[in-house]
Amino acid sequence: MTLPQVLIVDDNPENLTVIGELLLPNHAVRAANSGERALRLAQLAPRPDLILLDVMMPDMDGYEVLQRLRARPETADIPVIFLTALDSAEDEERGLQLGAMDYITKPIRAPILLARVRTQLELKQARDLMRDRNRWLEAEVQRRMVESLRVQDVTIHALARLAETRDPETGNHLLRTQGYVRSLANHLRRDPHFAGLIDDRQVDLLVKSAPLHDIGKVGIPDNVLLKPGKLDAAEWEIMKTHAKIGAEAIEHAEQDVAQPVEFLHFAKQIARSHHERWDGSGYPDGLAGEAIPLSARLMAVADVYDALISRRVYKAPMTHETARALIVAERGRHFDPAMVDAFIECHAEWRAIAARHADEAGHLAESAELPQPLAAAAG
């Protein structure tokens, strides 16, 4: 069993000897005959569990020693009992106001000293146990939170991959669009127009939500979803229903949980509205301008850009330069002008993201392609 550490501070050698002999059978004792030495010993390992501090000492009195102990993080929590011949109420009040835990007047009576020392050591042990318990609980909460978020991310990607099994040529589309959304959102944070709308938390939620943008494709028949060519008018109307299907599925998931799940709010916005257009000609609701949720306006640029540079059953891949030019040409029509301006600034970063998460050779274009109408190219 480890003995509790007690530091005795007194300029009188006789007092150090007497108090030390009282404590030694059950305590590990160190002694200091000045305030300066006491401050040095208090910082040495193992640090004291309790300090018995004389008030009236030359050069540095006990009040100043206590103030310095409390000012240092490593010694601020060590309990201190004042030992002094000063017995006025004002002296005791001053000591307690400075942070002393107790106040014993001289001459010292052994039973009182030992009882007070035992009480303060027991209190410190209880505080230390509570502190350690709280630290463990905080670490456990953090561990479980990280685990929960990891499970949540895996679930999101599993659902998104389920949608991809219906549309196998999209490859690493989910990873690329997540990267684009993060890049675009971080650039927009520097735009005064979006001050207060996008912060670290918002960026993380947008990125987490992005893979679910096309979850509604699980409800589209294979003869439409996998048709190797242009859809006719009737087929196109069926294809467009994937936005509502996805949003409704996420909404039902929201209703099944007792507490709101923050990222699902963004996921639902993105699934429903990422095919809306700035000029109001998109679907499913014909929203225009800032009536389109910000999350969906971000996703629209990311989704179309990746579709342009990727090989699909209905088109060959375009070069990054061609795709960039088509996105810029749709500024103020298909896309929010602010999104396009941010896209231009971070285009080099998008190219790096596309390269990092490229699919099989030939999936992403590296040679020039003839421009195609944007709607047909992106699907």
Span 18-60, pLDDT tens digits: 999 999 889 999 999 999 999 999 999 899 999 999 988 988 9
Q: Are 180 and 211 in contact (CB under 8 A)?
A: no
The full set of domains in the chain, from first to last, is 5-135 (3.40.50.2300), 165-378 (1.10.3210.10)
Average pLDDT over all residues of the chain: 86
| Among candidate residues 158, 255, 286, 254, the one with its CA nearest the CA of residue 215 | 158
Q: Is the pTM of this model over 0.85?
A: no
Structure confidence at residue 168 (pLDDT): 56
Q: Which residue has the tokens 């007092």?
A: 15
Work out the pLDDT band at 274, boundaries 50, 70, 90.
very high
CB-based contacts of 334, cutoff 8 Å, min separation 6: 277, 278, 279, 282, 300, 304, 374
Ranges 65-69, 173-177, 333-337: which has the least confidence: 173-177
User: Where does the pLDDT of residue 164 fall: very low under 50, low under 70, confident under 90, or very high at 90 and above?
Assistant: low
The pLDDT value given to residue 230:
83
Average of per-residue pLDDT across 76-92: 82
3-state SS class at 54: strand
pLDDT (tens digit, 9 = 90+) per residue, 306-332? 999 988 766 788 999 999 999 999 999
How many whole angstroms separate alpha carbon 54 and alpha carbon 11? Answer: 8
pLDDT interval class at 139 (50, 70, 90): confident
In this prediction, residue 337 carries a pLDDT of 96
Report whether pLDDT(366) > 70. Answer: no
For residue 379, pLDDT over 50 is answered with no
Residue 68 in this model has a pLDDT that exceeds 90: yes
pLDDT score recorded for residue 264? 84
Residues 6 or more apart from 327 whose CB is under 8 A from it? 301, 304, 305, 308, 335, 340, 343
